[in-house]
């Protein structure tokens, strides 16, 4: 047994991917509503307008969680459901707020601990139109702080908060690659770094607010959720490839974690980006440094990293490296999945856990997302989809690697959440890609059916969590 008796585990979702009810009860549009309306943006031309209809199925979702034995549930709030226009002077939609208050109460009544994320990429569309959304260093942090205040005050029973989910995705896919909302690419040399800085400042403001006004009374904790892939050198005998691995991780994880845990951006980023990387003011640095009660970790895959000889281009966001799935010998890092960016590599999980623990001096870690798609899953009949042996093996491998990192290396992991509770709107991939441990029958009322991976999860954690 590797995990302490108070270790928590469960499943993750996000508001836009499962809630649906896009125009119900006063919800305003988000940037993802607008993004989905642009032809060619979503693989199957779909949107999250209906998704899994979880807004109207909270009782079903709680019953599902309870049946699977989950002790916790991570979900996000829809900012535009709570404040439809988003701004600090704009009215609060009490119906939307009451929805989340009741949901939290019902989760707690069922013995399920809520983990709540404030921002999972769905900025109110009005703020994008009003001042450019996340690009505004002056307005965005203040509007986010007010939204956070409304949520903190209303959801006083929540003990586990996250400010932002995967800011790297918001910055790079939203403002460089253009495959996520708002889909900008024209100023990729500067905008991702500006957005990342503004997210850190907004995060810092929300954390200070929570600590100053709510934490002592509510007895909770707050952090941020960072994604990152494990890295292995393309040629393990090449010192440049070994250095490139660390540089790649700094450009993804260190970009956000270093300012929080160390107080400044990684030196490798400052060297490559120079003046394009914003500078913290003294006030901003004070807000950001130390602004996390835990390390929120999302992890899915690993890559082989090869250094580049040429100077980095202005649009490079990875640290001037090649990110590959095969190494110098032609070995694949793991099995192919439906997602082009994801191959299974369990040993990468323990490797990255150790990197985080060593670099940031053994923070308390919650793994808030981990999971996989399956090649061709959506084309199978439902009975075959429910036999998701590949996903089951993925989870067994990754969870046991996490357990080894705790047992053998002393990594302080306190909780684990599988992505995702159910198949859902998978952003630019639409509904063609399924990540759920529960099958969602979109053609027949969004009914949920547990897959094998869902039903084995309790047994796996019962085996690994200490009993006394």
Total structural domains within the chain: 1
CA dihedral 124, 126, 129, 131 (to 10 degrees): -80
Answer yes or no: is pLDDT of 468 > 90.
no
pLDDT digits (tens, 9 = 90+) for 85-140: 999 999 999 999 999 999 999 999 999 999 999 999 999 999 999 999 999 999 99
Percentage above 70 pLDDT, the chain: 100
Percentage above 90 pLDDT, the chain: 100
What integer is the mean pLDDT of 154-182? 98
> Which residues are CB-neighbours of 361 under 8 A, at least 6 positions away?
261
Answer yes or no: is pLDDT of 350 > 90.
yes
| 15: containing domain | 8-464
Higher pLDDT, 1 or 31: 31
What integer is the mean pLDDT of 410-432? 98
As beta bridge partners, residue 72 has 10, 113
Average pLDDT value for the chain = 98
CA atoms within 13 A on the CB side of 227: 18
Answer yes or no: is pLDDT of 344 > 90.
yes
Answer yes or no: is pLDDT of 17 > 90.
yes
In a domain, 2, yes or no: no
250 is catalytic: no
CA atoms within 13 A on the CB side of 220: 25
Residue 35 in contact with residue 41, Cβ under 8 Å? yes
**Per-residue pLDDT band at 280 (split at 50, 70, 90):** very high
pLDDT digits (tens, 9 = 90+) for 25-64: 999 999 999 999 999 999 999 999 999 999 999 999 999 9
pLDDT at 360: 98
Q: Which of 284, 369, 426, 429 is labelled catalytic?
A: 369
Residue 221 in contact with residue 161, Cβ under 8 Å? yes
In a domain, 369, yes or no: yes
CA neighbor of 303 nearest in space, from 266, 340, 345: 345
Answer yes or no: is pLDDT of 156 > 90.
yes
The CATH number for 448's domain is 3.20.20.80
In a domain, 3, yes or no: no
Task: Give the largest CA-CA distance in the chain.
Answer: 60
Answer yes or no: is pLDDT of 5 > 90.
yes
How far, in Å, are 237, 277, 341 from residue 320 at the CA level? 19, 16, 18
In a domain, 364, yes or no: yes
Q: Which residue has the tokens 């952003």?
A: 427
19 is catalytic: no
pLDDT at 456: 98
**Per-residue pLDDT band at 171 (split at 50, 70, 90):** very high
Residue 414 in contact with residue 8, Cβ under 8 Å? yes
Q: Which of 19, 126, 145, 166 is labelled catalytic?
A: 166
Residue 309 in contact with residue 214, Cβ under 8 Å? no
In a domain, 1, yes or no: no
How far, in Å, are 254, 270, 271, 289, 341 from residue 267 at the CA level? 10, 5, 6, 16, 27
pLDDT at 377: 98
Answer yes or no: is pLDDT of 1 > 90.
no
In a domain, 270, yes or no: yes
Give this prediction's pTM: 0.98
What integer is the mean pLDDT of 436-445? 97
**Per-residue pLDDT band at 335 (split at 50, 70, 90):** very high
Q: Which residue has the tokens 């639409």?
A: 430
Answer yes or no: is pLDDT of 22 > 90.
yes
Answer yes or no: is pLDDT of 9 > 90.
yes
256: cis peptide before it, omega within 30°? Answer: no
């Amino acid at each position: 047994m590797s995990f302490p008796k108070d270790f928590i585990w469960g499943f993750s979702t996000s508001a836009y991917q499962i809630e649906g009810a896009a125009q119900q009860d006063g919800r305003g549009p988000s940037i993802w509503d607008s993004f989905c309306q642009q032809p060619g943006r979503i693989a199957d031309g779909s949107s999250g307008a209906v998704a899994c209809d979880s807004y109207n199925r909270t009782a079903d979702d709680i019953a599902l969680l309870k049946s699977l034995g989950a002790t916790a549930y991570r979900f996000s709030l829809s900012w535009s459901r709570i404040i439809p226009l988003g701004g600090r002077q704009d009215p609060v939609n009490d119906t939307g707020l009451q929805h989340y208050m009741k949901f939290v109460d019902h989760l707690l009544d069922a013995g399920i601990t809520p983990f709540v994320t404030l921002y999972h990429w769905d900025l109110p569309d009005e703020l994008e139109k009003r001042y450019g959304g996340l690009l505004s260093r002056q307005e965005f942090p203040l509007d986010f702080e007010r939204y956070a205040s409304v949520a903190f005050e209303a959801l006083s029973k929540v003990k586990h908060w996250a400010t932002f989910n995967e800011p790297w995705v918001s910055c790079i896919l939203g403002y460089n690659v253009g495959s996520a909302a708002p889909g900008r690419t024209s100023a990729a040399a500067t905008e991702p770094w500006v957005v990342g800085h503004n997210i850190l400042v907004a995060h810092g403001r929300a954390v200070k607010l929570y600590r100053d006004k709510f934490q002592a009374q509510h007895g909770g904790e707050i952090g941020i959720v960072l994604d990152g892939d494990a890295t292995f050198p393309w040629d393990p005998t090449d010192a440049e490839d070994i250095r490139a691995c660390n540089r790649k991780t700094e450009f993804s994880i260190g970009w956000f974690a270093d300012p929080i845990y160390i107080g400044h951006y990684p030196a490798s980023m400052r060297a490559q980006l120079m003046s394009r990387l914003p500078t913290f003011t003294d006030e901003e640095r004070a807000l950001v440094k130390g602004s996390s009660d835990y390390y929120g970790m999302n992890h899915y895959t690993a890559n082989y990293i090869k250094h580049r000889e040429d100077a980095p281009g202005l649009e490079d966001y990875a640290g001037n490296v090649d990110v590959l799935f095969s190494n110098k010998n032609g070995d694949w890092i793991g099995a192919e999945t439906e997602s082009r960016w994801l191959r299974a590599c369990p040993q990468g999980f323990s490797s990255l856990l150790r990197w985080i623990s060593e670099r940031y001096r053994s923070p308390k870690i919650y793994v808030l997302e981990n999971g996989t798609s399956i090649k061709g899953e959506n084309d199978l009949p439902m009975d075959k989809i429910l036999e998701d042996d590949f996903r089951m093996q993925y989870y067994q491998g990754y969870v046991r690697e996490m357990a080894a990192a705790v047992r053998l290396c002393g990594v302080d992991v306190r909780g684990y959440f599988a992505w995702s509770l159910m198949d859902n709107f998978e952003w630019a991939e639409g509904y063609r890609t399924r990540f759920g441990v529960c099958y969602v029958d979109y053609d027949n009322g969004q009914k949920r059916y547990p897959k094998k991976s869902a039903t084995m999860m309790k047994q796996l954690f019962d085996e690994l969590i200490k009993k006394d």
